[in-house]
Amino acid sequence: MGQNMLQPQVLCLCSIILTLFFTLLQPTAAQITAPWEVDALKAIRGSLIDPHGNLSSWNRGDPCMGNWSHVICYNATGSDGYFHVKELQLLSLNLSGILAPELGQLSQMKIMDFMWNSIGGTIPKEVGNITSLELMLLNGNQLNGSLPEEIGFLPNLNRIQIDQNHISGLIPKSFANLNKTKHFHMNNNSLSGQIPPELSRLPSLVHLLLDNNNLSGYIPPELSKLPNVLIIQLDNNNFSGSTIPSSYGNISTLLKLSLRNCSLEGPVPDVSGIPQLGYLDVSWNQLRGPIPSIQFSSNITTIDLSHNNLNGSIPGIFSGLPYLQRLSLDDNNLTGSVPSNIWQDIDLRGNKSLVLDFQNNALNNLSTPLSPPPNVTILIVSQEHMLHVEVQQITVQFVHHALATFLLKEYRCHQYHAHVSFQFMWVTGLRVLGSQISFHTNPSSSST
C-alpha cells in the first residue's frame, strides 16, 4: 500500500523534472536569428555585387549570434523566441546590383541604410511589409523606376531619403498617410507630374525637398497648411505659368523657402507673416512688378530675387536686417538709386561679410555717398547709365581677374569700360571693397 501511495508522487516529480529540462532547453535552442530572416539576408547578399568583400561574413554562422558585419540585431529575443534584425547599415560599401524583394521579410527592421553605393534597379514593393521601419535611407545610388505606393502605408516611417537617384514617375498619393514622417528627401531624381496636394495632411513633416526633378502643374497652396514644416525646397522644376501661393507668406514655422528656377510668374511673395524665415530664394523665374514692402524676419541671411522681371526702385526694406549675408537683386529692371545704408546695423566683425549684388539693372545714382566697411562686397557694374566715381584709394576686384589695389584720382566706368591709371581695360564684373566712393550720374560720358 505504501508503494502505491508513493507512485503518484514519483510521477509528479518526474513530470516536474521533465518540464524544467525542456524549459531549460528551449532558450538554448532559440538563441538564433529567425530562419526566414536568415534566408532574406542571404537573398539580399546574393542580389548585391560586393567587390571589396565587405559582406564576406554573411556566408558563415548565424547573423545575430555570429556578428555578421553591418547587421545589427535586437539585444533580446522576440515573443517567438528568435532574434530579429534591427538595422542594415550598408553605407558607402561600393556595392552594386539590386535590392532584393526579400527585404520585406525583415519585418521588424527599423533602419535600412544603403546610402552612397551604386545599387540599381527598382525599389521593391515588398519594403511596404517592413512595418517597423523608421529610416529608409537609399540616397546616392542608381535606383530607377517609380516609387511603390506601398511605402505610403509604413506607419512608423520617420525619414525617407531617396535623393540623388534616377527615380521617375509620380509621387504616390498614398504618401499622404505617412503621419510620422518628418523628412521627405526626394530631390535630384526624375519625378514628374503634380505635387499631390494631399501631402498637406502630413502632421509631422519638417523637410520637403523635391528640388531638381521634372515636376509640373502648379505649386499646391494646400502645403501652407503643414503645421510643422521648416523647409520647402522645390528648385529647378517646371511649374510653368504657376504663381507662388500667397498663403505661403503665412507659414509661420518656415525657415527656408527656395523656389529657384521654377518658371513661376506673378509678384514676389509677401513673407511678412513668416517670423523666423532665414532664407528666401525665388530667383530665375518670371516674377514681375515692384518689390513689395515686406517686413523680413530679423533672422534672414539670404534674399535672392535675381534674374526676374522686377521693376521700380529698390525699397528701404533691406536695411536693419542684422544677420543679412547676401542680397541678390541682379538681372532685373530696377531703376532709381542704389541704397547706401543696407549694411548699417549689421554685425560684420570677425569673418562675417555681406554681398550686395545690383548688377544688370537700370540704376543710375546713389542715395548718398557710399562708404562700406571692408567686408562688404558691392556688385554694381553693367549699369548703362552709370558711372563717374571719384576715389582716393579703392580695392577693386575684376571678375575673372586677380584682386588688385589701385591708387587713383579718378575712376570711370561706362558700359563695361574702365579707366585705371590711364590704361584702358575691359571688365566683365566689378567688386568694390572698403572704399570711400561717391557716384554721380553721367550718362553721356565714356572712358578715355
Residue 406 has φ and ψ, to the nearest 5°, of -120, 140
Per residue in 25-40, pLDDT (tens digit) is: 444 445 899 999 999 9
**Strand, helix or coil for residue 284:** coil
Q: Residues in the chain, how many? A: 448
Q: Is the pLDDT of residue 48 over 60?
A: yes
Per residue in 218-248, pLDDT (tens digit) is: 999 999 999 999 999 999 999 998 999 999 9
Question: What cell numbers appear for 132 in the block?
Answer: 517597423
Per residue in 249-293, pLDDT (tens digit) is: 999 999 999 999 999 999 999 999 999 999 999 999 999 999 999
Answer yes or no: are the C-beta atoms of 103 and 44 closer than 8 Å.
yes
Q: Is the pLDDT of residue 146 over 60?
A: yes
Answer yes or no: are the C-beta atoms of 62 and 77 closer than 8 Å.
no
Per residue in 367-409, pLDDT (tens digit) is: 666 778 889 999 987 545 554 343 333 333 333 332 322 222 2
Answer yes or no: are the C-beta atoms of 282 and 243 closer than 8 Å.
no
pLDDT score recorded for residue 7: 56
Answer yes or no: are the C-beta atoms of 287 and 310 closer than 8 Å.
yes
pLDDT score recorded for residue 165: 99
pLDDT score recorded for residue 416: 33
Q: Give the chain's domains with CATH numbers.
A: 240-380 (3.80.10.10), 384-448 (no CATH)
pLDDT score recorded for residue 364: 82
- Buried residues in 10-24 as b, exposed as e (16+ CB within 10 A): eeeeeeeeeeeeeee
Per residue in 323-354, pLDDT (tens digit) is: 999 999 999 999 998 888 898 888 888 888 99
Per residue in 293-310, pLDDT (tens digit) is: 999 999 999 999 999 999
Report the C-alpha gap between 371 and 436 in whole angstroms: 5
Per residue in 74-89, pLDDT (tens digit) is: 999 999 999 999 999 9
Q: Which amino acid is at 440?
A: H
